[in-house]
A and B are shown apart, each in its own frame.
Chain A
Amino acid sequence: MDEALKKQLQVTACKVRMGIIEGVYNAKSGHPGGSLSIADTLTYLYFAKMNIYPDKPDLPDRDRLVLSKGHTAPALYSTLAQRGYFDVEELKSLRHVGALLQGHPCIHIPGVDMSSGSLGQGISAAAGMALSGKISSQPYKVYAILGDGEIEEGQVWEAAMFAAHYQLDNLVAIVDNNGLQIDGKISDVCSPYPITDKFKAFGWHVIEMDAHDFDSIEKAFNEAETVSQMPVAIIQKSVKGKGVSFMEDQVSWHGTAPNAEQYAAAMEELENTLKGLEG
């Protein structure tokens, strides 16, 4: 990847992370861990990959993204705010009564392509959108982001079968493999491994990616575009809580908001990261 672009994306991803912390802190609830693990991927997609129009969020030919792991809405909202879909200030009222930003993605929020959050459902809607694009020969791509715990849901595999059967090569499912779910390690709870082999067996083209390395991210999404007649699964190896050291790889940060002290520490760390990048 071009070094200037990489630097720019790193800066934006850091701001996205700050927005996640800001939102979850002000909501006094939410899911920081899995939001931080997808921040780089979302940043890449919305700032370097997707064909989107923040001033015209409903344009029919736009690329679409369904956050199937909808509990990590703070990451999507923060990315959309950075991209100009709505004011960054909105993040401060996340999950508040009467606020724009609901606890899980809602289709009525500018830039949100599908309501989601009940796990396993977003991938089906994404497959429907991809099928629709094929039917009408529209050029758009559909991205769906799933949790590695989420793929324990049976509906994911119904959708996987369907997408392969209808050769939806305009569909890219990203599985966020941070290895943790609410009750512990995914390998301990009810293991969905081997993830790569499962998607291959279902007739998908599978790519493995480092979720926190923009070179790897760019390479994976570029490869996805070369695939024809098969849907693409990108298994991204990620770190839950990435970017805030005391949250990294800690299952306890799956669905807990930071207190005032932790908020200050997280923001200070991210500000230092930002200074380092911009300095």
Chain B
Amino acid sequence: MRFDVAIVGAGPAGLAAAVNAAESGLTVVLVDAGTQPGGQFWRHPDEAAAAAAGTTVGESDGHHDWKRFADLRARLYALEDKGAVEYWRNTQVWLIEPGTSATTLRLTPTVAHDSHAPEVVTARHIILCPGGYDRQLPIPGWDLPGVMAAGGVQALLKGNRTAAGTVAVVGGTGPFLLPVATGLATAGVKVAAICEANSPTGWLKNLRGAVQAPEKGPEGLEYAAALAKHRIPYRVRTAVTAIHGNDKVEAVTIAKLAADGSVLPGTGRRVPCDLVALGWGFTAQLELVLAAGAETAVDVDDSLIAVVDERLRSSVPGVSVAGEATGVGGAAMAVVEGELAALCVAAEAGQSSAGNATLGGRIAKLQRNRERLRAFAVAMHRANPVPARWHSWLTPETVVCRCEEVSYGSLCDAHTELGAQDARSLKSFARPGMGWCQGRVCGFATASIAADFAGCPTSADDLRSMAKRTLAAPVTLGQLAALTPAIPTPCNPDEGL
């Protein structure tokens, strides 16, 4: 099957890209791993179950900007009904092969789901909207049951209306901790503390960026009111530095941080809880960007991101990137980027029913909007860095890579004994990132630890060596083999010794 444009991901960026590309007259396929649109940000209860029950009341609970999603979703479904968008749910791309006139995507159903998608699709343009996921820092005890990514806690609340515990500590950095904490409180969970590693005074220094996104102001006030209402203590320059328990979380140690991110001696204290939600910003999901061979760089928040131009084109012809993968900036920016990428592709294809002059005006407006939102995102990143000396919270026994059970101590040995100077060498000698998740969880931490060993800032090479995955999703050898004709025997009888 061949399309004008294939969009990967049906979160805020992908949804906006799909509906705008289709409304511009392009033939569109939308590929997404989820069973329903919205991505992580607009995760919501099962639509089929709600339809069967005859009510969508409560669907938007805990959401911001739900109206924007409802509008995009309605347009998507209308376009799908008309046949203007092919929307393949429960489908992952495991291989991307850019070509001279079209790019090929190889598809596989997500685990335990049926997919109606074919095994391969080609399109003249690809818009990658893979989104991002919570960035984690390994700390002592983070592998205990009851410790979750802040985004995971929120996904359970939004998608399943399930609170993951009864007494929670929310820790990390950034504004995302606020909706997680207030969401838990609204669901009846006692939030013992929010531990924000940075200080809101960081905002003052970055006021220029902040005031450029005025709609964030009221949102902040809303959270402040919610924190007051639920009596949630908001502790700044404070981090969860260790988690305690035998079979599950029983308590955490929270401590005040010095300016460099190390623990201020004597400030540690124990807080009982059964749920810990941790979030240190976000990691962009870059498998397909890297597999396509597109250029990447380190962003202000130390995340590896795709390098794109003002039309969101990557360094690979025919491959655009929109949303968190171009720099973490939140859902509003992702929607702008999705629309921008789609309209630029439409303009390039010369296929707008509205005419290219109108299109040019819309593109220019979106570009200005994107710049404004990007300035805000940069200000947020500058105000909420990962503490420089977070490594000092670790003990030799702290597990860094959970798949391969690699401890911080063994990374230190790989450095001091074996001469590993970079993340790739750490991986070669000690195996972090070699297991099931292929570095999706420990990649940032390992790159950051390598940079700390080398006494340098986190480098793009270190992040890349932990993020590069030839197969973007696991695929069975049988599926791989199906790309070539089957052979009856392992040996060619004519090729003896």
Q: Do A and B bind each other?
A: no
